[in-house]
Structure 1
Amino acid sequence: MYVEILLLLQQKEEFKKAEQMLHLALKLAQQQQNDQAVTYIHDLMANLAYDTEDLSKAETLFVNVLQRLIASGAQQDDNRVLHISYKMADIYKKMGDIEKAEQGFQFCTERLENKLRVSPDEDTTLLLAMTLDAHARLLLDMRRLDQAFTCYQRAYFLAGDTHEQTAVLLNDLGTVSFLRGDHDTALMYLNRAVEVGSQQHLAAVYVNMGSLYLQKQMVDEAKRSCELGWSSANKHGDKEAMNEASLCLQEVKRLMQNKSRH
């Protein structure tokens, strides 16, 4: 019941009410000396802080949850422990502590890969794909493009073509390929993203395709891709993608005007 109400409050972005409700639930669990419930509520509180970008609070709460899990007998390769470790690495990335973030992602990756070698399962596979994706984004931010590309490739291999994040991964692979100067490979990944992606994920893909076509001086293809990107972004209220598509179309217009003068 508490979880259903909490989810409803989060959907309505009533985060303060959600936090108040969790504090009441925590007090009740502590009065009942229900250690399992206390750990679970701390985890919910940590995730609420994480989702609302209250990073310092999220870090403190996640550390508390980890300590409670390990004290209750959880091993370091328990997916509950590794999922929290992944989120803490992401917190360190957002805080700008790159060394801790990378150590965290590497810790999770090594243990998840070891688990999959011994006993493959879907939850572990998806958690590893998430970890590799997040690590790749960190590497991309640092312009360590070859390492980012490898992480994205491994994440895509694990996620397959049916996962909801597949189009996003393919778009990222296209972006990294573009930055590495491999335009043909970039276009291959972006076309694949269009084939497998749902409409809400395609605006950024189309805009990236438009930018790539501009680099290749394929103006008509760039115009078509950026128009599709603008339309998709407008439909789904993605203002950032709309702005990028508009900039792409302005560049298309400029190139067409220059071409007509000659």
Structure 2
Amino acid sequence: MLRSAGCRALIPGRIFRTWSRGSERCRSREPSLQRGPERRSAAPGSGSGAGTLSAAGLVCLAFSFFSQDQTEERNPEDDIILLIKKAKLSVIMGKPEDADRFLHQALKLAQQTRNNQAIIYTYIQMANLAFLRGDLLNAEKLFKAAMSQMLGSGTRQDDNAVIEMSLKLCSIYASTEQHGFAVEGYKWCIETLEEKIQSQKDLPEESLSAHEKDNTRLLLGMSLDSCARYMISRKQLELAESLYEKALAISRQVQGETHPQTVVLMNDLATVLDMKGHHERAYDYVRRASDLARETSHPDEYVILNNLARVLMHKGRYSEAKLVYEEALKQAESKADQPVIERIREGLEELEAKTLKVQVLGEKSY
């Protein structure tokens, strides 16, 4: 087709979130464009080649901008590199309009010099910027343009970079209520990756490294995760449960039990089970997730605690639920996460009403 931080438990999660290892192929498409002192780390929702600079990299990059001899002649590729770096710096500084302007300049220069690799990479940067700004219509057009350029240059349809962008298109269709496109897109991404993983299974290390195989498996996990959250929004809980179980298995196998993404997926699976009324199974998963979150100082511990409190409430364990809600609220307030704070307070209000009902009617609680 032309498809870390945690899901917010019962709070609608982000439409798209990257796992710790995404498609390496998207990043490897810019060898000649990856010069200079830049260091990149994955950013939520960045995907195909987008990135941020470390503090050290930012300082070095700033010096590289202004210490260059302005009289020194640069070839067009150098100018494209500089414009893209300026765009990335603008994003870090909270100036997306400037970033967009620099990227358009880079694209124009790449097109003038017929530098196909630079055209593709710049389209990807522009698409990611539009995606992160919520300009989904423009992001869709740009992702399709980048994919068209890649496929026209001989890139295979099952290349991880193509699938990762296809996955982002799925999330755009999901956000814009284009249900048919979203479902078909998710189906294509998942089935294509499953076939690819099967075909890579017996390849020797010299042909394909274990790291590259893991990247493809993690991209499948990300696809399952994204599709599961969409299925929750469509109230297709049986399918969401199955997708989350598969995503959790992949994360456990590749990244380990204590990895932040694994913890998040335990919590998400608990959410689905709780919505289905399977409170005991939900409790087992969310209890494990909350224990690991505490042990590993997970950044979304308070989100998981909120989910744990809700499951405890549904199990009738009101006194325990109140204590967990209060701890979750304390952590959420310390991080000034207003949407989660509001949800926790709503949970506390619901808990108070249930507790009062017990007191009035004499219903059983724990």
- Fold conserved (TM > 0.5)? yes
Deviation at 1:164, TM superposition (A): 2.9
The AA in structure 1 aligned to 2:246 is R
Match of 2:233 among 141, 149, 157: 141
Q: Structure 2 vs 1, CA of residues 237 and 166 (structure 1 numbering), >3 Å: closer, same or farther?
A: farther
Structure 1's unaligned 5+ residue stretches are none
Q: Percent identity?
A: 32
Per the alignment, residue 188 of structure 2 pairs with 107
Q: For residues 152 and 165 of structure 1, what CA distance do their matches in structure 2 show? A: 12
Task: State yes or no: 1:51 paired with 2:139.
Answer: no
Match of 1:242 among 332, 336, 341: 341
Q: For residues 87 and 259 of structure 2, what CA distance do their matches in structure 1 show? A: 27
What per-residue deviation string (whole Å, max 9, x for no partner) do you get for residues 25-83 of structure 1? Answer: 11222232211111110111111111111111111111111111011101111111111
Per the alignment, residue 33 of structure 1 pairs with 114
SS at match of 1:165: helix
TM-score (norm 2): 0.68
Q: Structure 2 vs 1, CA of residues 2 and 154 (structure 1 numbering), >3 Å: closer, same or farther?
A: farther
Per the alignment, residue 141 of structure 2 pairs with 60
The AA in structure 2 aligned to 1:12 is M
Per the alignment, residue 8 of structure 1 pairs with 89
The AA in structure 1 aligned to 2:237 is L
Match of 2:280 among 166, 179, 184: 184
Q: Is residue 93–residue 138 contact of structure 1 (8 Å, CA) maintained in 2? A: yes
Match runs of 1:78-97 below 5 Å: 78-97=159-178
Task: State yes or no: 1:170 paired with 2:269.
Answer: no
Match runs of 1:158-237 below 5 Å: 158-160=250-252, 161-197=257-293, 198-237=297-336
The AA in structure 2 aligned to 1:131 is S
SS at match of 2:128: helix
RMSD: 1.8
Alignment size in residue pairs: 262
SS at match of 1:200: coil
Name the structure where helix makes up a greater proportion of residues: 1
Q: Structure 2 vs 1, CA of residues 3 and 202 (structure 1 numbering), >3 Å: closer, same or farther?
A: farther
Q: For residues 192 and 278 of structure 2, what CA distance do their matches in structure 1 show? A: 33
Structure 2's unaligned 5+ residue stretches are 1-81, 202-212
Q: Is residue 200–residue 236 contact of structure 1 (8 Å, CA) maintained in 2? A: no
